[in-house]
Structure 1
Amino acid sequence: MGRDLRTFLQLLESRGQLRRISAPVERDLEVAEIANRLLAAGGPALLFENVKGSPFPVAVNLLGTVERVVWSMGLEEQQQLEALGEKLGKLQKPRPPRSLQDALEFAPLLFDVIKARPGRVLFAPECQQVVLEGKAVDLDRIPMIRPYAGDAGRILTFGLVITHDPEDGTPNVGIYRLQQQSRDTMTVHWLSVRGGARHLRKAAERGQKLPVAIAVGVDPLLVMAAATPIPVELSEWVFAGLYAGEGVQLAQCRTSDLLVPAHSEFVLEGTITPGEVLPDGPFGDHMGYYGGVEDSPLVRIHTVTHRHDPIYHTTFSGRPPKEEAMIAIALNRIYTPLLRAQVPEVRDFFLPMDALSYKLAVLSIKKAYPGQARRAAMAFWTALAQFTYTKFVIVVDEDIDIRDPSQVVWAIASKVDPERDLFVIPRTPFDTLDFACERIGLGARLGIDATTKIPPETDHAWGEPLRADPATAEQVSKRWAEYGLGDIPLGGVDPRAWGYSGK
């Protein structure tokens, strides 16, 4: 795959979406403060060329708008994301072709999978142009940032953390936060359900160390692939190849058989010894608070390789808008066809950015039978791994615009009897960063049935919703300027009240 971080930076610069900052800046607090203000304003990506204490530049805010997230995937418009989701949905639930036409339609998808297979770079990969081993390893030279004053240390955020299953060698590529602990050690913060944690448990059962590679400064499309929790028996490398239309070029690490993107700016190679942990945190997180302190696996870095004049790519968490929220909005469009494949009655769904991009979901369904809203909510919670930690699910009728908060609130206020239409699932596994839970890591979920009720959900007739006369509404719209009102919008609520940046 000819794409890399530098190619994307060139694209942003050519479109006026990259600002180079040559003034000296501190990697502690200052970089994040500048980037945070640009994020809030929907501003450009930033390349800090003079970071104190490090010879390497820092790129941040590359995915700070949905538009740039779409560009990172080789697309131009958000609408194209659903087509990608439909492709992945067909791979998720493939059906034998029932006709020649079905076979002809499925054939291009199989060809896409073949094209998406990763390739191997056997000699002189770019990521190994410079090799540092043993005492030459010095993580202080890498410009990891400390975003908030209460953070315990410097963090690495947009690295691909790569492990493989000790039993069958299946790779896992995840995005996990790492805290620098010393010149050559870091702790990794991952949830127990993530692939890296599963691999570490298997290594512990076998009495083995777990090899780890951390690839930093990769094509942002690979970040998107690693952030997409799609339950298909394909590796993240194949996902990335499907996104890009061509296979990812991989290179073998120097100290293990792990494979990393050959175009990575930095690669950190190390091992985790099961049971070896250090306190990790606190850090500012996506919930808008400082997280707690947790004993986390210790990664001992043995080798650092990098390109000539490498660029360090980073991000940070916090209350939206942040880059992770922009990524979530784009993934929402990709998830929609996938969710429909799992739960056919779902017409659309939306994860408002202001609800931390995944803590609250709004589903619309075409209601056909009693209890269907509860079924849809339960199916949603189990459809994709990303939805495991969604705390609230609101189900509305298909005629409700789920991206318009006024319509959703109206549906709740006018169609919900709290005694009948709220259902709680107690004591389920939960995000350890969610302090609202009575017990950290264990919390409840709430479903809200805000659909129109039908027997036997209710024993009385439902009122007829008020609607404008269609003919009159069309006539008024046509004559709006004639009334002398052309400078006034025709009406409607701006869905950005939910932190949404475009349909």
Structure 2
Amino acid sequence: MAYRDFRDFLKTLENEGQLLNINEEVMPEPDLGSAARAISNLGDKTPALLFNRINGYHNARIAMNVIGSWPNHALMMGLPKNTPLKEQFFEFAKRYGQFPVPVQREETAPFQEVEITDDINLFDILPLFRLNQSDGGFYIDKAVVVSCDVEDPDHFGKQNVGIYRLQVKGKDRLGIQPVPQHDIAIHLRQAEERGENLKVAIALGNEPVITTVAATPLLYDQSEYEMAGAIQGEPYKIVKAKDTDLDLPWGAEVVLEGEIIAGEREFEGPFGEFTGHYSGGRSMPIIKINRVCHRKNPIFEYLYLGMPWTEIDYMMGLNTCVPLYQQLKEAFPNEIVAVNAMYTHGLLAIISTKSRYGGFAKAVGMRALTTPHGLGYCKMVIVVDEDVDPFNLPQVMWALSTKMHAKHDAVIIPDLSVLPLDPGSEPAGITHKMILDATTPTAPETRGHYSQPLDSPLETEKWEKILKVMLNK
């Protein structure tokens, strides 16, 4: 089921009991960040929050924690809110395999109701606040940023829709962090090598499927819009931007159009990141905003980041697992069973696989490190047997504690790439990576005593079904 726009999804959340309206007046700081942190602390079935009265911002409403639980993630996919996590994984993988689904182009969009081109002042247009108390400024952190390949601008798949943190630097200026492993960094390099500014468009308040796909590590020439259509099961609606000729999400609440200024850099940060640490300050590119369009009385959306788990871990969990799963299946179609890369955006990945021969699991781990996501993230890969559920952490810990031999099964590869935000990298962007082989040794490996595994009692599966029905009554 496709959602018409952001408001349509919020209505669904409310109807399903997964949206909490907060009608009392709140302060932008610290209330918004504090409430979003607090709701994340209360478990994995929590609702989204909609703040309807914010001191200092008349008529502004802000939604947070929108995909911040597994029920909300299931509803994003049009599934029942109680769909188990592992079922969500395989359903996401099934839909991912339907890519590409052609887009539906529209001539106009709701966000074109109000248009501003003169005297743009983001401080008047956007409700701005710090999410964490030591952030270096105000950030827009859940907008999708659209850019295109400068050398091949007509290739629809090379148009990138991604999520990058944006610091408000002035009335019409934003700082952006284009991590080298992400597509926008390629586009910016192409533009700057030509001495040109890079056209960008930024959409805020989007229906959740495009936000989810924008955070998914697709291949460089895979269209996020065509993947969004695959995930929602019908063509995704887009509309042309006015200044940049880029394609935009039709259902956005607010759109900013502008350009990254070639060769210009400015200090940006610090910012409380998904790693649970502040990222520090760095010299980053600047975006000049030339046009703003928005719906009348737009609903704004922000993302709280901090010590896991927060909304970003739900939003970027399964959509990190599935691309790794699909890319590993291409290399090992008969062996790979499932992939769990939900921990700190895939800095750790757990892979369940069949083993064809001794040493095979280590080869699977090496392949994971060379996927597009693995190059910038996976710094620890745990490989387990086919009968170990990578989403069941007690089973994974059992495999590590009984199957792994420190001398034979820990592989360390020095000085590989990782995103600079990893606080353990030294220098920033470089780290040692490790593969832990927690699979049963296969010939010609003969060590250990694994010839008598314990099976479940007969009819265990039958009783699982009986008890599940009884518990759901």
Structure 1 51/399 Cα, relative in aligned 2: closer, same or farther at 3 Å?
same
Matches within 5 A, 1:229-378: 229-231=217-219, 233-331=221-319, 334-335=322-323, 336-337=325-326, 339-344=328-333, 345-351=335-341, 353=342, 355-378=343-366
How far residue 396 of structure 1 moved from its aligned partner, in angstroms, is 1.9
How far residue 306 of structure 1 moved from its aligned partner, in angstroms, is 0.2
Counterpart contact for 1:45–1:60, Cα < 8 Å: yes
Counterpart contact for 2:215–2:316, Cα < 8 Å: no
Counterpart contact for 1:82–1:333, Cα < 8 Å: no
Secondary structure at the counterpart of residue 266 of structure 2: strand
| Number of residue pairs matched by the alignment | 453
What residue identity is the alignment partner of 2:138? R
1:164 counterpart residue number: 148
Does 1:189 find its partner at 2:174?
A: no
Matches within 5 A, 1:84-483: 84-89=92-97, 113=100, 116-123=101-108, 125-169=109-153, 170-231=158-219, 233-331=221-319, 334-335=322-323, 336-337=325-326, 339-344=328-333, 345-351=335-341, 353=342, 355-385=343-373, 388-458=376-446, 462-467=449-454, 470=457
Structure 1 6/235 Cα, relative in aligned 2: closer, same or farther at 3 Å?
same
Counterpart contact for 2:48–2:67, Cα < 8 Å: yes
How far residue 271 of structure 1 moved from its aligned partner, in angstroms, is 1.0
How far residue 451 of structure 1 moved from its aligned partner, in angstroms, is 1.8
Does 1:74 find its partner at 2:59?
A: no
Counterpart contact for 1:86–1:338, Cα < 8 Å: no
Name the CA distance, whole Å, in 2 between partners of 1:4 and 1:343. Answer: 38
Counterpart contact for 2:225–2:236, Cα < 8 Å: yes
TM-score, L = length of structure 2? 0.88
Secondary structure at the counterpart of residue 247 of structure 1: coil
Counterpart contact for 1:358–1:387, Cα < 8 Å: no
What residue identity is the alignment partner of 1:5? F
How far residue 415 of structure 1 moved from its aligned partner, in angstroms, is 2.8
How far residue 214 of structure 1 moved from its aligned partner, in angstroms, is 0.4
How far residue 388 of structure 1 moved from its aligned partner, in angstroms, is 3.5
Secondary structure at the counterpart of residue 457 of structure 1: coil
CA displacement 1:70-120 (0-9 Å, x = unmatched): 2112233352552442343465xxxxxxxxxxxxxxxxxxxxx4xx32233
Name the CA distance, whole Å, in 2 between partners of 1:474 and 1:294. Answer: 56
1:101 counterpart residue number: none
Secondary structure at the counterpart of residue 29 of structure 1: helix
Secondary structure at the counterpart of residue 135 of structure 1: coil
Counterpart contact for 2:216–2:320, Cα < 8 Å: no
Does 1:45 find its partner at 2:30?
A: no
Counterpart contact for 1:54–1:141, Cα < 8 Å: no
1:12 counterpart residue number: 13
Secondary structure at the counterpart of residue 38 of structure 1: helix
Structure 1 residue runs without a partner (length 5+): 92-112, 482-488, 490-503
What residue identity is the alignment partner of 1:65? S
Structure 1 276/402 Cα, relative in aligned 2: closer, same or farther at 3 Å?
same
Bigger radius of gyration, 1 or 2? 1
C-alpha RMSD of matched pairs (Å): 2.7
Identity of aligned residues (%): 32
Structure 1 386/70 Cα, relative in aligned 2: closer, same or farther at 3 Å?
farther
Name the CA distance, whole Å, in 1 between partners of 2:161 and 2:394. Answer: 40
How far residue 384 of structure 1 moved from its aligned partner, in angstroms, is 4.2
